[in-house]
Amino acid sequence: MESEHLKVAIRIRPLLNIDNTRDIAVYVSEQNEVKVLDGDHYLTSNYDMVFQPESSQEQVFTFIEPALIKTLKGFNCTVFAYGQTGSGKTHTMFGGNWEENNPAPQVYYKDTQGKKTEINILKSLQGPGIIPNSITKLFADTQTKQFTFYCSFIQIYNEHLYDLLHDPRRDKSLRIRENKLYGIFVEGLAEFVTESAEDCFLLLAKGDKNRAVRQTRFNHHSSRSHTIFQMLVETDKANRRGVMKKAKLNFCDLAGSEKYDKENSMAMEHVKELKEINKSLSVLGKVIHALGSGNNSHIPYRDSKLTRLLQDSLGVNTRTILIATISPAAVYAEETISTLKFADRAKQIMVKIKKNEVSATNDQLITKLQREIQHLKTLLNLNRKGGLQELEQKIWVLTEENQKLKHMKGTFTIQEVERLKEENKKLRLELQQAGITTNNEDLFIPPREEMTPKSTKINSGSLPESRNYSKGKPLDEDGNTLKPNSGSNISKSGPFVSRMCPKCKIYPPCIHTSGYTTNDVSKSLNSAYSSLKNNKIISRSIGSAIYQTEPHISKLEEPIKMNVRYKMTNYVLENDSTSAQLKEDEARKKELQNIRARLNKITELENYRKEQFRKEIRELEENKKKEDEESRRKITEDAKKKKKLEEKKRQVEEFRIAKKINDELEQLKAVEAKREADIKRKRDNEQKKIKLIEYYNKKKE
């Protein structure tokens, strides 16, 4: 596992007419240094890269391209744009004039008109952004390699998570989960299997149409939610070491921070959005500050849905790149300084990076593949025509095959797991070709033969009148009303809901129940298109701003539905339309599992008692061993003390003897000195006597 600093780039947008000024306060040196200088502010700092106003989208993409390529080798990557509202985040992530190419209305929900979307977004964008360029690059590099891509699109609006692809009305808020297999994920989030870059562009355009937007004083088309476009990359074949690579690629377009407008009255919903956006960005700033400080203090990931989702991108196993967008205008100097300070803290973060590899014989991977294959085969078999007997026979075959797979799970080889993944992928593609989805929400790939403007609204009144539609009555495969006691396999197996067309899986009126054919629909569409063919400009009102765009041409053919999977705690979201036989089998399996669970509990209890008994014996043995060791230790200590005492006694005795000898020697020396002194005194006295005698003798003479 390697570590590296979180990479930070600054992008300065050009001055715009909405700025109402030509004064700039941001200056750039040659060493990737940014200076903010005006009469009241001064700030200077260095970053990994600084993009000036004249920098192109290709230059920005070149900065993140090395990290993007590493995702194909199993490394996670997150790219997110941060900055004040109107500073160019969406322009950087999606591309120039993205709002005009894919206009979202100035309301919180607008149902998508028609089942078609402009598929080749790159041709109409004035410089594609990071996300379109990344999608194109990934699919270009994997043309000759076996990879599977899953795409999802989520928004965080007012601290609630919504699926942009399956829940445009925001009816159901999703929840964040975490487990060992997926890590941190959104439960129930739809993940679409994409075979080409065009499929990804379709999802991108559809999801962005459902995004919450509002006109602000900085931006006529301001995003009011954080969005995350996620791509999961998985290899279909194991490498020489028997492992499969997978990686997660996140593209985050954060909502911009905004101050409360005291001059103009803001709508209550606008104020609520402003508070929630600023709150989540404030929590993100706290998390960045805590991670950049380097201490072991608490990191408040759970204080916001945004930081919780980005938890693994802010320090754990993800190569993360921050694109901070700023305005050079002097009137926005405070907002620019705030963004640069955030970027300064972010570049201090150290992220740990490791390759995501899963053993091809991993039990969890095998179980996941088996359940998905069983689920997909069930959907295919229920959709194919045939009597009840044929359906029951297929169910029996699937049940037997499932039992074989369960017995084989412990002895799977790498080649067999690769075969499972390949079978899984083929089944999903067959589902897509057959026009089956696992949810009532249909997503259509754009048509390819006729031409129609993107913004054109087709009036259903131009179609021929319905002739065979029976309201409130179930229909058979030919669109006829079913009799109450009909022996149709549809009513018995129950794969279709009452009043739903068994062919196109939508509620009537449709071309099968209304009596009109595909040719009638094509003629009506062509006539509607011809009536609008001469219109060169189509206007769409967004609040007070009017967007005028050129007609966007899409190609028409029979719509193809895209396949989808859901991340759930049980790996796969099961279909409610499974036959009664499968339900009975599942009930038996559950009963057997309950019996096994009870037996396992009894066995575990017995093992627990045995383990407790063994534990008590081990404790007694350990206590006895400790007591023996303690007694041996005391004996050893007593012996050491006795030895030390004897040594001290010996030393005292030796000292006493030595002192006695010294005393005797001192006494002898004193006696000898006294004797010598007496001898000397006697000698001196004798000499004095001699001198006195000599003196008297001389005196007598």
The residue with tokens 């396999």 is 489
H-run or E-run covering 540: strand 538-542
DSSP 201-222: HHHHHHHHHTS-EE--SS-TTE
Here the tokens at position 106 are 């100035």
Q: Position 686: which residue type?
A: E
Q: Is 84 annotated as a binding residue?
A: yes
Q: Is 90 annotated as a binding residue?
A: yes
Query: Is residue 646 classed as helix, strand or coil in its secondary structure?
Result: helix
Q: Is 348 annotated as a binding residue?
A: no
Q: Is 95 annotated as a binding residue?
A: no
Distance from C-alpha of 508 to C-alpha of 501, rounded to nearest angstrom: 6
Omega of the bond prior to 447 within 30 degrees of 0, cis? Answer: no
What is the four-CA torsion angle of 528, 531, 534, 539, rounded to 10 degrees?
Answer: -70
**Which residues are within 8 A (CB) of 419 and not within 5 positions of it... i.e. 6 or more apart?**
none
- Name the residue among 125, 151, 121, 123 with its Cα closest to residue 138: 151
Here the tokens at position 486 are 């009909």
Distance of alpha carbon 32 from the chain centroid: 30
- Name the residue among 227, 232, 222, 104 with its Cα closest to residue 154: 227
Measured in residues, the chain has a length of 701
H-run or E-run covering 33: strand 33-37
Q: Is 378 annotated as a binding residue?
A: no
- Name the residue among 150, 135, 211, 146 with its Cα closest to residue 186: 150
Here the tokens at position 523 are 């003629």
Distance from C-alpha of 671 to C-alpha of 487, rounded to nearest angstrom: 145
Q: Position 72: which residue type?
A: L
Q: Position 695: which residue type?
A: Y
Omega of the bond prior to 509 within 30 degrees of 0, cis? Answer: yes
3-state DSSP helix/strand/coil percent for the chain, to nearest 5? 45, 20, 35
Q: Is 86 annotated as a binding residue?
A: yes
The residue with tokens 């101050």 is 259
Extended beta strands in 125-209, E state: 147-157, 160-163, 175-179, 183-187, 190-194
DSSP 665-680: HHHHHHHHHHHHHHHH
Binding positions for ATP are 83-90
Binding positions are 83-90
